[in-house]
Amino acid sequence: MTEAKSAGADYDIFIREGEVGMYWRHSDRGLSISDAGLRWSIEGRDRTEKLGDIESVHLMSAHVAKSGNVFNCIIRFKWGQPLILYSTNDWGSPDEERELVYRAAILDLHQRLAKSGNKDIVYRAGMTSGRHRLLLAVTIIATLLFGVLPLGLFLFVETSFHVFGVTAAGIAFIWPLWGQWQNNEPRTYFPDDLPYELIPG
């Protein structure tokens, strides 16, 4: 991890206050990180929080079909709304340039938190246990429908070789789900030992 700037640093990433959910479009962006804390603006209203008021940091990722992976970080405070950082563009799609800025912000934040010596912050990685089990169930069902079933039809029922195209398409659909399931296993981590599979590289 590179050494964090001693002064504040500004990161042009999209942000949102509240819980993770489905949103039409992101409108707020910009986060400043310093040893004193975080500063951002939501709908023109300025917000500040001290690093010592952070309760937990939660890293996770998701896959967008035909686009790639997206990443977010949920920062919860001792009071007030959580702050969500996104690696995406305003439409919630993967954005390579924004990913680099997001990565720099995540590394900077964790280095400052590690340096602060605050042992009360909880660092979480991956999905909740319920969502993780649901993703596994979806992956298994997709494997049966798009992998095992077409192959079984080819082996035991008179059918064409087009079934291999269906199987190949199924594998292309299933493989990212499996990767996300592995990467997002619920766990905790330390600020100086990050789960880099949940941070764009």
Angle, in degrees to the nearest 10, between helices 162-183 and 129-143:
170
Correct CATH for 9-126+187-198 of 2.40.128.20, 3.40.50.2300, 1.20.58.220, 2.30.29.30: 2.30.29.30
Q: What is the mean pLDDT of residues 102-129?
A: 93
Confidence at residue 175, expressed as pLDDT on a 0 to 100 scale: 64
Confidence at residue 158, expressed as pLDDT on a 0 to 100 scale: 56
CA angle at residue 148 from 144 to 150, to 5 degrees? Answer: 110
Distance CA 191, CA 158 (A): 57
Q: pLDDT band for position 2 (50/70/90)?
A: very low
- For residue 48, pLDDT over 90 is answered with yes
- For residue 137, pLDDT over 80 is answered with no
Are residues 152 and 163 in contact, defined by beta-carbon separation less than 8 angstroms?
Answer: no
| pTM (2 d.p.) | 0.76
Nearest Cα neighbor of 4 from 142, 169, 116, 100 is 116
User: What are the DSSP E strand ranges found in the chain?
Assistant: 9-17, 28-33, 37-42, 45-50, 54-64, 68-77, 83-86, 122-125, 187-188
Q: What is the mean pLDDT of residues 170-179?
A: 66
